[in-house]
Copies of this chain bind each other. A is one copy, B any other.
Amino acid sequence: MITKETTRRLDPDKVVDSALGIADDEGPAAISFRRLAAQHGVTAMALYRHFKDKDDLLAALGDRLLADVVLPEPTDERWDVQLQNVLTAFVTALREHPRVADLTLLRILVSEPGLAMAERIMELLTEGGFSVDDAAEVGRQSISSLISLVTTDPMAREVSDPVAREDSLRMKRASLAALSPRRYPLITAAADTLICPTSRDRYYALGIEMTVAGIRGVLREEKQ
């Protein structure tokens, strides 16, 4: 007989939820044991029953993001098309929590969903013609680029407070507007785009396309 779970007052999964919420609103620096504990009506030290230390908690956040990746089923499309779909699935999961997206990097080769994705990417790269070792290096670099695509998403920063966000944008705009168009003609011409790209979807689509194009490009060079 399963007893009612009044005993386990603290659910680690819910703590991770809270931490993600805090990070989404105020950035990862705002995550603290004391604050999480307070949100769950518990002492800070209670969290140490469930997380070895703060790194362990952050690892759990990374694992959560990776678990949210919805890996597409293999098809009979070309390897690079399938790869693009896998990478898109990865980015789609990270986009939900851009401020902590980089926590996934260290967990990919540890968590089960991360390993599954890595293996799949290696499959597709070797199918495309890379050696196993080259696939490893190219795959790592691609993943790393896409993570930074998400963490540096110019439209996702400081979403918490729309007022602060507008202020920050105004300041950046002013800073670029103050530049001499003579000395920096292209930067001043592209100021709006540099500060904030036109479309978020286009931003991500372009980032993923560049990554896949880069992979195709080095493949051609390796093959001569």
How many angstroms from the CA of A147 to the CA of B184 in the assembled complex? 23
Check A186–B132 contact: CB distance below 8 A: yes
Place the interface of chain A in its size category: 35 or more
Check B140–A194 contact: CB distance below 8 A: yes
Asked if A144 is an interface residue, CB under 8 A from chain B, the answer is yes
17 A-B pairs, CB-CB below 8 angstroms? Answer: A109-B175, A109-B194, A119-B186, A132-B189, A133-B193, A137-B193, A137-B206, A140-B154, A142-B210, A210-B214, A210-B217, A211-B214, A212-B217, A213-B213, A213-B216, A213-B217, A213-B218
5 more CB-based (< 8 A) A-B contacts, given A110-B175, A122-B190, A138-B210: A118-B184, A132-B190, A137-B203, A142-B210, A144-B149
The 3 closest A-B pairs by CB, nearest first: A213-B217, A214-B214, A122-B186
